[in-house]
Chains A and B, each alone.
Chain A
Amino acid sequence: MSIQKTMTINMGPQHPSTHGVLRVVVELDGETVVKARPVVGYLHTGIEKTMESKLYYKALPCTDRMDYLAPMSNNLGFCLAVEKLMDIEVPEKVKWARVCLAELTRVNSHLVWLGTHALDLGAMSMLLYAFRERELIIDIYEACGGQRMMTSYIRVGGLAHELPKDFEKKVRKMIKVIRERLNDYETLLTNNEIFIQRTRGVALLSAEDAINLSLSGPLLRGSGVARDLRKDNPYSGYENFDFDVAVSNSCDAYGRYLLRIEEIRQSLRICEQAIDGMPEGPYRAHVPGVVLPPKEDIMYKMESMIFHFKIITEGFKAPTGSVYQAIESPKGELGFFITGDGTTQPRRVRVRPPSFINLAALPKMCEGGLFSDVVCAIGSIDIVWEKLTDDVV
């Protein structure tokens, strides 16, 4: 009779550290992980199919729901892709406002990541602090789009409304507060012996593996590859901003933590520049028949009224062809691949989901490590399930 040396354990799909519904089938030899197999798809919502059944304009609110921590990034990616397909140039002010909002989103997403990741590793107070600071950003969202999470504020061709009057004041306050509090976080975690022991040298991933596995975002930069789409293929006017790409060569979970903290600092820097240099101008492009006319015009201009009616009821026809627009979302490369076919609905909307593709690296990060480090590896990927599973979202 042969003796089985390994034991197979099922983790999830309702495990608290997975922040959603991820199941990992882990094969253990004692405490060491021999094999890990992630099972996804518990939250597949079919958002792509839904978007394909709507007019271009009306598919937008679906994008918020893919990643509830980064709604503005998702709006931005979709709008840039549709604008590329329709060949629309937006006003300068819109570009600057979008950059500012996208960077706010990055701070928001990284703060939640920081809180939940630290919570997974036992540092409970971090969660409360991170959510307290996040409230400042959520308030700005609320002032802009009227909603705290599903904002749909960035629209095809511009923004939904003019920026709120106290936008500048609120953003400046947020920058000041978070900059100070980041130092507090670092005193809690960066030199914390327990945190270091749980993260340093854990969930290792070499640069070759990271490229071979198509990873992006902090996971790729955490392995020493300086690929940031904001620098490499600038969109929405990122080339006008002065910031550094954070890179860590340590390839482990601790390096990814330091990298994300640095990214928050850089994002605040970009926000500050965007606020300082925000140009004056309209908040929406003037492209009759494609971009909705400003709400103020509809009441007393006949053409605006007609275009408004036509765009809402019929939509606009897109040319036949495919475009791909990628942005550097907080989780990595978020790409929208949109195919037009001469009708008012997209033939294909493909979202390149950064979380989903990054999760494929989980076996590589876990195997050979300890079972308790699986939690740390999942945390350091930074998964949001909706994003994962719309495509898994």
Chain B
Amino acid sequence: MMEQAVNISENIELFVKNEFGDAVLGVDYFRGDMTISIKAESLFDLCEALMSDDDLAVNFLADITTVDWLGHDKAQSGRFEVVYNLCSIKHKYRFFISVHLPEENPTIRSLVDLWEGANWMEREVFDLFGIVFDGHPDLTKILTPDELEGHPLRKDFPLTYEVPQFSWNKDDPPEVIK
């Protein structure tokens, strides 16, 4: 099975480099997992090609998440790193596609047209990081309250604590401790 994993990762790497050579910024192995860094504008086409290729059969989008690299060297290529976690159920193989987006106006094409499951994942990333997914049918907040301003998982959003209101302190305004 180990051999199979090596083959499929090589096949995917070759496929991506042949078909989207200009868009690939690097292929990285860390602790056995492959991460392909690509330019933001070719994400949709690449995923569509991977999905429709019958040999690779990358048919499962496991997760979408984002890392905020504020204040780190990695922020030079773009502060937000959006990571797509893709699987091939047939080959039992998992790999990652990473896209760096700039601090100002981070926008990327939505994958909802390929995977319906991307709908809630993208809404979550939009809500917590403020990444805009172009072409998403209903890009609204999903987790945080409507009145909350800002995107809580960004590194410049402070971790705060609000004193709970009980009958004994109901007249005191809630204190926000930073």
Contact = CB atoms under 8 A, between A and B. Distances in A.
Interface of A: 40-41, 44, 46, 48-50, 52-53, 84-85, 87, 209, 211-216, 225, 227, 232-233, 320-324, 326, 333, 335, 337, 339, 341, 347-348, 350, 352, 356-357, 359-360, 389, 391-392
Interface in B49-107: 59-63, 65-69, 72, 74, 83, 85, 89, 92, 94, 96
A44 B123 CA distance: 14
A333 B59 CA distance: 16
Enumerate the 6 nearest inter-chain pairs by beta-carbon distance, A residue then B residue, closest first.
A214-B117, A232-B92, A41-B143, A350-B65, A44-B143, A213-B117
A84 B152 CA distance: 27
**Residue of B62, B72, B83, B117 ringed by the most chain A CB atoms within 10 A:** B117
A84 B31 contact: yes
Nearest to B125: A350
A348 B68 contact: yes
A352 B63 contact: yes
B47 to A, nearest CB: 13
A389 B128 CA distance: 12
Nearest to B61: A214
A337 B65 contact: yes
Contact of A350 (B33, B63, B117, B159): B63
Contacts of A233: 92, 94
Given A85-B31, A211-B60, A347-B72, A357 B120 contact: yes
B59 to A, nearest CB: 6
A335 B144 CA distance: 22
13 contacts: A41-B144, A46-B152, A49-B153, A214-B63, A214-B118, A233-B92, A233-B94, A324-B94, A326-B94, A341-B69, A347-B69, A348-B65, A360-B120
A391 B62 contact: no
B12 interface: no
A97 to B, nearest CB: 24
Contacts of A322: 30, 35, 67, 83, 96
Q: Chain A interface mostly helix, strand, loop or mixed?
A: mixed
A312 B141 CA distance: 38
Given A40-B142, A214-B61, A391-B124, A321 B31 contact: yes
B95 to A, nearest CB: 10
A321 B144 contact: no
A48 B141 CA distance: 17
A275 B27 CA distance: 43
A337 B30 contact: no
A323 B62 contact: no
Given A85-B31, A335-B62, A341 B72 contact: yes
A215 B117 contact: yes
B153 A48 contact: yes
Nearest to B5: A233
Interface string B111-126: 0000111111100100
Contacts of A324: 33, 63, 85, 94, 96
A136 to B, nearest CB: 34
